[in-house]
Homo-oligomer: A and B are copies of this chain.
Amino acid sequence: MQIEKNYDAYMKFIHTSDWHLGRQFASRILIEDQEYVLDQIIAYLEQHQVQALLISGDIYDRSVPPVSAVALLDKTLSRIGQLNIPVIMIPGNHDSAQRLGFAAQQLSASGVHIIADFEQMLRPVVIDAKGERVAFYGMPFNDPELVRNHFQEPVNSYEAAHCLLTEKIRQVMDVQSVNVLLAHCFLEGAVNSESERPLSIGGSDVVPHTVFEGFDYVALGHLHAPQYKGAEHIRYSGSILKYSFSEQFHKKGVTLVELDAGGRASVQNLPLKPLRDVRTLEGTLTGIVEMGRHDPNAHDYVLVKLADTHAVLDPMGKIREVYPNVLQLEKPGLYRAEGEVVAPGQALKRDEYDLFCDFFEQVAGQALSEPQKQAVKEVILEVRKEEQA
């Protein structure tokens, strides 16, 4: 959905989520990458002259984030504060609500609104825009147990928890004005990625989009692919970076939302350019190393799938010379001869002799002689006999 220019937008805000500050990707800490895209978000805030920034949870990657992540959030919020743009955020399932919510009351006076408990949930952040008022409600990440204990109500599912909480908000909200909700959950039918931590082990963690009826825009967090479900205004902005190889084809960005006086939302994806992209390379070792020598984006985080059908010596070391941020190596080719598919068990057996021949050739620079080949075969046969004895 593109922004339509023929209506009177009176409120503009940016919706983002799933920053996961402090996250590691295959043991690389991504702080530098995260700062790089946060810079772009700050630039968008200025460029589009928005009235608010919404962050729908998973601000940090862990309940106790590393100091570098705390420092980055601190710096980012300070810079946004200098622009006089209010920030409204909720904790996600990766955040500690109580740690993130520290000094929330005092920070609120400075335009940083951290909605971290169910009392704050019922007190909207109200922003005036051209004389009209927009109320922003935040629903901190919650699970059935938390809601059951807090409200002493028989809540046994994520759906019931979200029904109860949205109902509590509807009871206090002014339906005549425009109402926006931030929430962090898994919408039924939405598309997940490998880098999201499941909300529930065993039980169902999904929530139907219908629980969010009555809000003019629902800014969701949790799923890392930007998408909407049920209605175009019930929407995930997606994460700010690709946090797994399963996300390599995602278009990461933030969502620019414009509301007209009737509360009708128009949205636009503002792309974020990563410092290092995440992608998969397929080919032979020789081909990939050759490609890497001329690849302008050789610093990307790459997963390499080797097509070689013969064993190769130290492929990771050779690839790293040209792709220093290679994070993962797979060798599907090794188990597959041209045109045929070999089950891994068979491949391993067939390979004992072949692997050694390849290895010898790589190390010695020449193939085994016939007597050598004979000796190797004899040794392998002898070992097999012993294994079977």
Please report A residues at the B interface, Cβ cutoff 8 Å: 64, 67, 70-71, 73-74, 77-78, 81, 96, 98-99, 101-107, 109-112
Contact = CB atoms under 8 A, between A and B. Distances in A.
A70 B106 contact: no
Contact of A99 (B67, B78, B96, B104): B67
Given A64-B64, A67-B96, A110 B106 contact: yes
A70 B101 CA distance: 9
Tallying the copies of this chain within the complex gives 2
Contacts of A73: 102
Contacts of A103: 74, 77-78, 103, 107, 110, 112
Contacts of A70: 98-99, 102
A104 B96 CA distance: 20
B112 A106 contact: yes
Given A74-B98, A106-B112, 20 more contacts: A64-B64, A67-B98, A70-B98, A70-B99, A70-B102, A73-B102, A74-B104, A74-B105, A77-B103, A77-B106, A78-B105, A81-B105, A81-B106, A102-B102, A103-B110, A103-B112, A106-B107, A106-B111, A107-B107, A109-B109
A81 B99 CA distance: 19
A74 B71 CA distance: 19
A74 B96 contact: no
Nearest to A80: B106
A102 B96 CA distance: 15
A101 B78 CA distance: 12
A73 B102 CA distance: 8
A112 B103 CA distance: 9
Contacts of A77: 103, 106
Contact of A74 (B64, B102, B109, B110): B102
A110 to B, nearest CB: 4
Contacts of A78: 103, 105-106
A74 to B, nearest CB: 5
A64 B65 CA distance: 10
A276 to B, nearest CB: 26
User: Which of A64, A81, A101, A102 has its CB near the most chain B CB atoms (within 10 A)?
Assistant: A102
A76 B253 CA distance: 39
A22 to B, nearest CB: 12
Contacts of A98: 67, 70-71, 74
Contacts of A96: 67
The 5 nearest A-B residue pairs measured at CB? A106-B110, A109-B110, A67-B98, A78-B105, A74-B102
Contacts of A111: 106
Contacts of A107: 103, 106-107, 110
A107 B112 CA distance: 10
A103 to B, nearest CB: 6
A99 B74 CA distance: 10
Contacts of A99: 67, 70
12 contacts: A64-B64, A70-B102, A73-B102, A74-B104, A77-B106, A103-B103, A103-B107, A103-B112, A106-B112, A107-B107, A107-B110, A109-B109
